[in-house]
Amino acid sequence: MPAPKNSIRRSLLVTSAILLSTALTAPVALAAPSPSAAHSSIPSADSSATASADPSKSPSKSPSKDSKKPKDSKDSKKPNGSKAAPPAKMSTVGGTLLGQAGTQVNLASGVPVLPKGLSARSWIVADAESGEVLAAHNAHWKLAPASTLKMLFADTLLPKWPSSTKHKVESSDLAGIGSGSSMVGIKEDETYTVHDLWLGVFLRSGNDAVRVLAAMNGGVEKTVEEMNEHAEELQALDTVVVSPDGYDAEEQTSSAYDLTLIARSGLQKKDFREYASTVRADFPGETKKNKKGKKVRESFEIQSTNRLLSGDYDVPVYEGIAGVKNGNTTNAGATFTGVAEQDGRVLLVTVMNPEKKGNEVYKETAKLFDWGFEAAGKVDPVGELVPPRSAVQADARPGASASPGEADGTGEGAPGAAGSRPVASAAAGGGAGGVGTALAVTGGVLALLAGGAFLVNRRWPLPDLVRRRPRP
């Protein structure tokens, strides 16, 4: 629905948000499309005009399925490693600047320069709670998402079953898994809990676990349909799901912006936060007869493939990391969305398809986290993470205004208004039950806003944010 015109009378909360939106009229540095280009503090000729445009005068974006067709996804389908350029015109959901090619950042006095050596086709740095986008590069470029799409799978299906629900796997559950898929090791005729299956999805990125959960949900086709519907509800309109596990598929796309929206939504769910922050866990193996002829079922350890969470030979565990999900396919290259908290500030960073291989996606993410934590509170935002449609509709009532960043409005958005401070904090301690989950939780748990959904122009706290404990 189109965003309604501003009411004469506004609540103090909405007024605060509008005042913050004036920050978008500050000079904006528009870097060249090359991710490694030098950044200039000189604004482009139309940067101020686009940032301060009247939302009511911009064309609305249709919520129909046709609006989500990846018409400009041709460039994203070029072989990984080949030169590709972002489309000249991209979505403006969250702000006009986010629809422009190249790097968008306000390089005012006192703002640290962006890190050197960024090679990713697309990335974004955002405040997870206020929704402010601190900087972005080709934020709405429709690219193959790989297994980061499993965040949307989890956000869509997690509420459906209690974690203790058991399921005996049939051969049909595992049908259609793509060649070369990442697997956790699920076996036919064995029984697993939903908890086991979600650990397989988050830690090992197991496409076999995804397929079993999709079968429990009524099949792949139904699951894909629900995922696409949920993406529209989240206003993740660059996202088109074809395969629920993120396996390369024709016309399957997402964007750095959308993946960040999806992660932000998922992090409102306690189970999502816990699975995303789990470093290692025991996973059920096959049932076999021991030497005495008795049937026993052993387990084996699985570890998160998120290297900022688990670490690697050339990537240290990132301070304050709490998830979320990584991916890697031939077409998508490496993709990653992460959430981290330092000194009461919670940031989300998404990086898609860096030119360099290996663990580069984690290295570039760490650089952007470092920049974001240093720049937060100093840099003026270039856009916002928009709220779900249902939150916008709930707030679209007399005396209130719809979010300027709503997709059905203009795509231009003011950052969320200031509110309560982040509630996540770290604590050290040992794991339990063989599950290396960071169970550091804040002393006081905040209630979810509006019964679990955040309101337009309000901060979206992450209650009892689960974090990975520092290694001893």
pLDDT for residue 373 is more than 50:
yes
Name the H helices within 287-413: 307-310, 360-375, 389-395
Tell me what pLDDT residue 32 has.
35
1-51+70-472: CATH class: alpha beta
Residue 375 Cα to chain centre, angstroms: 20
Tell me what pLDDT residue 169 has.
98
Residue with the larger pLDDT of the pair 399 and 317 = 317
Best CA proximity match to 285, nearest among 174, 171, 170, 190: 190
pLDDT 10s digits, 319-334: 999 999 999 999 999 9
Residue with the larger pLDDT of the pair 97 and 430 = 97
Strand partners, 143: 254
The rounded distance, in Å, linking the Cα atoms of 407 and 61 is 6
Residue 179: pLDDT band (50, 70, 90) is very high
pLDDT for residue 340 is more than 90:
yes
pLDDT for residue 36 is more than 70:
no
Type of residue at 124 = I
Residue with the larger pLDDT of the pair 257 and 66 = 257
Tell me what pLDDT residue 285 has.
96
pLDDT for residue 190 is more than 50:
yes
Tell me what pLDDT residue 470 has.
36
Section 201-215 average pLDDT:
98
Tell me what pLDDT residue 366 has.
98
Tell me what pLDDT residue 159 has.
96
Residue with the larger pLDDT of the pair 11 and 316 = 316
The overall average pLDDT reported for the chain is 76
pLDDT for residue 124 is more than 50:
yes
Tell me what pLDDT residue 49 has.
30
Q: How many CB atoms lie within 10 A of CB 174?
A: 17
How many percent of the chain have pLDDT more than 70?
66
Residue 399: pLDDT band (50, 70, 90) is low
pLDDT for residue 420 is more than 60:
no
Best CA proximity match to 201, nearest among 157, 164, 160, 238: 157
Section 299-309 average pLDDT:
96
The rounded distance, in Å, linking the Cα atoms of 312 and 306 is 9
Cβ neighbours of residue 151 closer than 8 Å, sequence gap 6 or more: 259, 262, 263, 266, 324, 325, 337
Say if strands 103-105 and 132-137 run parallel, antiparallel, or are unpaired: antiparallel
Residue with the larger pLDDT of the pair 393 and 419 = 393
Section 245-254 average pLDDT:
97
pLDDT for residue 72 is more than 70:
no
3-state class (DSSP) for residue 330? coil
Residue with the larger pLDDT of the pair 372 and 455 = 372
pLDDT 10s digits, 128-160: 999 999 999 999 999 999 999 999 999 999 999
